Structure 1
Amino acid sequence: MAARQHPRRRLAAGLSMRAFVPNAITAAALCSGLTGIRFAIGGDYERAVQAVILAGLLDGIDGRAARMLKAQTRFGAELDSLADSISFGVAPALIVYLWTLHQLPSLGWIAALAFAICCVLRLARFNSRMDMLDQPHKQAGFLTGVPAPLGAGLGFLPLYLWIASGVPIFANPIVVGVWMVLMAFMMISNLPTLSWSRMRPPSSLRLGVIALVGLTVAALLTEPWWTLAVITIVYLALIPIGIKTYFKVRRQAPRSAIPVRGAVSSTSEDVPHDPA
């Protein structure tokens, strides 16, 4: 009798419904970032920036949705990185180029390319280190460099100020080009930056922080561009504080005593599960 042949293993029919939800949010973030480019082509830079900000909010939700639904997948991780590279790398670079950098056709385009490429390199670095346990910044609860969504927000700072004030210097292509290149290298730098897990106010200040968050939302509704500029400047001021805090933590605790945080989630390169 001929040997019985084993049936071929069936391929998975598709994503489960649990995995569908966070990946659908990621797709929505991608579409929002791309729509920002469309608004910029039409000269509507306010809505262009708003579209990228919406993409950032959705990017923060998809990772949490994946963890809540226990739907972390490798597909979700890859989709998220690809979406982030477009929404927070390509889209901001093109928006700023169409806004003012086009006045310097060669140098302006190089500055825009630098921003987009550095964002992609940051995400590639994160993916390459996804399974590595030996990550000093991550083990200590810090990020490495500026996260991609925040990098996009930082890159828009001259645009925030220009929309809010109308002062021509903020739209100067040389100034904006230099700023974009600096923010590009901040994303791929090895500087330790504060993660959400490190931004935990003491119990005595938590009511005040809740009130501050409420006032910030009110400010965003009444004076959105000045408020975004202030938030961006505050984050920049926190970078040296994060560096100082990191080295203080490393001095106080030996390497072996710093716990390795949990496994990397399947989505969102820059939410509290911390990138490289």
Structure 2
Amino acid sequence: MRGLPFRAVVPNAITAMVLCLGLTGVRFAIDGRFDVAIYAIVGAGVLDGLDGRIARLLKASTRFGAELDSLADNIAFGVSPALILFLWSLNEAPRFGWIASLALAVCCALRLARFNAQIDADDQPHKSAGFLTGVPAPTGAGLAFVPMYLAFVFEEPQFQAWYIVMPWVLFIALLMISSVATFSWSSVRVRRSWRLPALAGIGLLAAALLTMTFEALLLISAVYLGLLAFSMAAYRRVKQRRRAAAAD
């Protein structure tokens, strides 16, 4: 009878904006404005990183918000990137371009379903050690666009060829549903002596995203892919320490 407090509406409104930006990216792709389509998906990724934190900050976390967040992520980072890549390149594939696009969308949905199914699970080795299982949906969407970044940066048409884009899209789709341990924000620790350089680096990165968007996105993608080997090695060390502690 008293209605919902406004603080409970804010995070859900941000999640709805994520959904709208994802679909808007498809709209720009239909018009052939693929650079703007990427901007829309990147903007959705930024907002997706904020809605959960704002909900916890405002103490407005709800089951409804969690379900809405998963549905929005599936559309913004699964369906929309799949359609954008199909319109940009994969529609030129003789038979399997649409299959590759479907693989990206389906694997994103499966990754989100696995995440939701494990929320209340007691045994979560990756999460308990501060890692994620597989590549997160927003990160996977950003990585799937790497051929587009390369095409925009180097202005070379071969990066748009379906025989280059298709294997890459399938590789990213597999990474999303894989059991690879990936770093999460909770596992990142910055030493006190590196705090100011880290802040300066984040500021420079934000400036680069505004002035040299595709170059910055390409650099971020390369760094993330390079960190996968380190995250797997770090998790392997965590498992070894746990086994040693259990043996003792």
**In structure 2, how many angstroms separate the alpha carbons of the residues matched to 1:105 and 1:62?**
40
**In structure 1, how many angstroms separate the alpha carbons of the residues matched to 2:58 and 2:51?**
10
2:180 is aligned to: 191
Alignment pair present for 1:77 and 2:66: yes
**In structure 2, how many angstroms separate the alpha carbons of the residues matched to 1:101 and 1:255?**
49
**In structure 1, how many angstroms separate the alpha carbons of the residues matched to 2:245 and 2:72?**
36
Letter matched to residue 144 of structure 2:
G
- Determine which of 41, 44, 50 is the counterpart of 1:52: 41
2:208 is aligned to: 219
2:125 is aligned to: 136
1:207 is aligned to: 196
2:81 is aligned to: 92
Change (3 A) 1:39 1:256: farther
1:124-183 deviation line (CA, Å, top 9, x unaligned) = 111111111210000111000000000000000110110111112211111101100000
Letter matched to residue 13 of structure 2:
A
Partner of 2:74: helix, strand, or coil? helix
Q: Which has the higher contact order (CA 8 A, sep 6+)?
A: 1
Change (3 A) 1:237 1:90: same
1:33 is aligned to: 22
- Determine which of 232, 241, 246 is the counterpart of 1:252: 241
- Determine which of 228, 234, 241 is the counterpart of 2:230: 241
Stretch deviating more after TM superposition (60-69 or 104-113): 104-113
1:272 is aligned to: none
1:177 is aligned to: 166
**How far 1:254 moved relative to its partner?**
4.9
**In structure 1, how many angstroms separate the alpha carbons of the residues matched to 2:28 and 2:165?**
20
**In structure 2, how many angstroms separate the alpha carbons of the residues matched to 1:129 and 1:84?**
17
Q: How many pairs are equivalent? A: 246
Alignment pair present for 1:111 and 2:100: yes
2:32 is aligned to: 43
Letter matched to residue 177 of structure 1:
M
Stretch deviating more after TM superposition (226-235 or 97-106): 97-106
Letter matched to residue 179 of structure 1:
W
RMSD over aligned CA atoms reads 1.6
Greater Rg by CA: 1
1:10-33 deviation line (CA, Å, top 9, x unaligned) = xx7864422211001000110011
Name segments (4+ residues, structure 1) moved above 4 Å. Answer: 12-15, 254-257
**In structure 1, how many angstroms separate the alpha carbons of the residues matched to 2:38 and 2:112?**
21
Alignment pair present for 1:229 and 2:202: no
- The structure where helix makes up a greater share of residues is 2
Partner of 2:95: helix, strand, or coil? helix
